[in-house]
Amino acid sequence: MTQSTRPDAGRAALASFVTNRLGRASTRPAPSQGEAKSDVPSSAQDFEKLAGYRELKLQRSAADLIGVANPFFRVHEIRAGATTRMEGKTCTNFSSYDYLGLNGHPAVSGAARKAIDAFGTSASASRIVAGERPGHLKLEKALAAHYGTEACVVMVSGHATNVTAIGAILESADVIFHDALIHNSVVTGAQLSGAQRRSFAHNDVASLEKLLEATRHEHRRALIVIEGLYSMDGDAPDLAAFVELKRRYDCWLMVDDAHGLGVLGRTGAGLHEHCGVAPSDVDIWMGTLSKTLSACGGYICGPSVLVEYLKCTAGGFVYSVGLSPPLASAADAALTVMLAEPERVERLRRNGNLFLAIAKKNGLNVGTSLGLAVIPVIVGDSLKAVTLSNRLYARGINVQPIIHPAVPERASRLRFFITSEHTTDQIKETVAAITEELAALETGSTLIEQLMARRGS
């Protein structure tokens, strides 16, 4: 390998060239003859000065320079399930959280229509101001029963549920211990609370134990937060081990089961079923309504005291409009169908295991995925990930790249969401296409070589 084609040299050349190109592009041209000069000076008030915007422009410039189309924000022309239609073309779709194929299920859509007929499309204000709707209470009762907790509260956003719940529970004298790969909403909630924040190595119980042993005594209350199924890597924690630590060090344990519900465990009950742990061993269960439950929103299940406290103090509940009645009814119906049709969970498991097995056989890097609903194909370069996504799209396969800064640059990937409705042929054809296109990218000229060739022209 020559010096000019080494990956680190290539990235440096790319950064240097794009930075120079961007710098020239962002320089305002001198006004033409007769054109009035602006008296408004450049200042920190310019939106272009926002942190991170320059990096965004760098990424876009790099893609534009080598002719890589933006794979994000494509418009779906029909309901997106195992297949979708975009730009008039039918595609196999791996960019949907509809793990059990319940979005559009007759019972789910029917429940939403019935709620619209009875209550309209909006709760109109916060539930404290506008009052309750039967669908809110019915859904909360069903979710509490599912996790074996005393109570539940549902909110309009999954992200906001974590932010507002953690922000309300913890204070500056407290501490939150969380997995290094925890969702942004947990980190944001910790920042809002003012509590100290300490992260431990991904799924590493020993790493957490060292932190607890060294620092737990410094804080009043402590909260440990993990996820059920990690949405970037498709792996799961050893719940029993985390329960043991939370007991020994007197902490609360919170599980974000957003991607676990409907996926983990024989019946899709979630992380507790997957690990054979009683759900009551976890203090706080959090989840979202937008994945298996085919609606939108989030929930907290736990002791009635906690739920009562959140309903009276959490800003994301007190000051936010209540969950839309048709969404509450749709989520409740989806949970009922999930419990009544465990064969959907079994189909999902078979599909995920098949995708994982073929991918590994073909030498693809799938990281630590369990082969359930989330399977990454790690390619290690943002531009390569975007290019691969576009090549697959040209072949009728829709899958989104995950690039820096969402993941480290070396961990850039395509993230495949498997559903119970994908067919065996779709899975086999997709893995074959990934293998072919990735091989073509690796044997052809590198992206930086393409960029430098364009620079020369």
pLDDT of residue 392 exceeding 90, the answer is yes
Average confidence (pLDDT) over 129-138? 92
pLDDT of residue 454 exceeding 60, the answer is no
> What is the domain count for the chain?
2
Pick from 435, 439, 437, 430: which is nearest to 94 by CA? 430
Give 306's pLDDT tier (boundaries 50, 70, 90).
very high
Give 6's pLDDT tier (boundaries 50, 70, 90).
very low
Is the domain of 182 the same as that of 322?
Answer: yes
> What is the structure's pLDDT at 258?
97
pLDDT of residue 17 exceeding 50, the answer is no
Buried b (16+ CB within 10 A) or exposed e, 43-62: eeeeeeeeeeeeeebbbebb
- Give the pLDDT confidence of 164-174 residue by residue, as tens digits: 999 999 999 99
pLDDT of residue 11 exceeding 50, the answer is no
- Which one of 315, 338, 361 terminates a domain? 338
Is the domain of 208 the same as that of 172?
Answer: yes
268 in a domain, yes or no?
Answer: yes
pLDDT of residue 295 exceeding 90, the answer is yes
pLDDT of residue 89 exceeding 90, the answer is yes
The residue type found at 148 is G
Pick from 290, 282, 271, 318: which is nearest to 167 by CA? 318
Is the domain of 421 the same as that of 367?
Answer: yes
Within 8 A by CB and 6+ apart from 326, the residues are 111, 112, 113, 115, 116, 119, 121
258 in a domain, yes or no?
Answer: yes
Q: What φ, ψ does residue 449 adopt, rounded to 5°?
A: -65, -40
Is the domain of 305 the same as that of 440?
Answer: no
> What is the structure's pLDDT at 50?
84
Q: Hey, what are 236's tokens?
A: 């799961």
- Give the pLDDT confidence of 413-447 residue by residue, as tens digits: 999 999 999 999 999 999 999 999 999 988 764 55
Pick from 254, 258, 185: which is nearest to 225 by CA? 254
Domain of residue 147, CATH code: 3.40.640.10
Is the domain of 91 the same as that of 174?
Answer: no
Is the domain of 156 the same as that of 89?
Answer: no
Is the domain of 430 the same as that of 311?
Answer: no
Among the residue ranges 6-10, 362-366, 397-401, the one predicted with the least confidence is 6-10
Domain of residue 414, CATH code: 3.90.1150.10
- Helix, strand, or coil (residue 175): strand
What DSSP assignment string belongs to 347-383? HHHHHHHHHHHHHHHTT---TT--SSSEEEEE-S-HH
Residue located via tokens 């039918």: 90
Please state, for a pLDDT cut of 70, what percent of the chain lies above it.
Answer: 86
Is the domain of 227 the same as that of 174?
Answer: yes
Give 69's pLDDT tier (boundaries 50, 70, 90).
confident
Q: Hey, what are 242's tokens?
A: 């985390």
Average confidence (pLDDT) over 139-168? 97
Peptide bond into 408 cis (omega under 30): no
Look at 405 and 386; give whichever has higher pLDDT: 386
> What is the structure's pLDDT at 40?
52
Alpha helix ranges (H) inside 322-446: 325-340, 343-361, 382-394, 424-443
> What is the structure's pLDDT at 47?
87
Pick from 253, 247, 198, 250: which is nearest to 225 by CA? 253
Is the domain of 227 the same as that of 141?
Answer: yes
269 in a domain, yes or no?
Answer: yes
Within 8 A by CB and 6+ apart from 424, the residues are 351, 354
pLDDT of residue 42 exceeding 70, the answer is no
> What is the structure's pLDDT at 376?
97
Q: Are 420 and 99 contacting, i.e. CB atoms less than 8 angstroms apart?
A: yes
Q: Are 328 and 135 contacting, i.e. CB atoms less than 8 angstroms apart?
A: yes
Is the domain of 76 the same as that of 153?
Answer: no
- Which one of 317, 338, 359 terminates a domain? 338
* Average pLDDT, rounded, for the chain: 89
- Which one of 275, 308, 338 terminates a domain? 338
- Spatial distance between the Cα atoms of 358 and 377, rounded to a whole number of angstroms: 12
Is the domain of 285 the same as that of 378?
Answer: no
Q: Hey, what are 206's tokens?
A: 């020993």
14 in a domain, yes or no?
Answer: no
Average confidence (pLDDT) over 181-192? 96
pLDDT of residue 272 exceeding 90, the answer is yes
> What is the structure's pLDDT at 7?
39
Is the domain of 399 the same as that of 320?
Answer: no
3-state helix, strand, coil in the chain (%, to 5): 50, 15, 40
114 in a domain, yes or no?
Answer: yes
The whole domain housing 177 covers 106-338
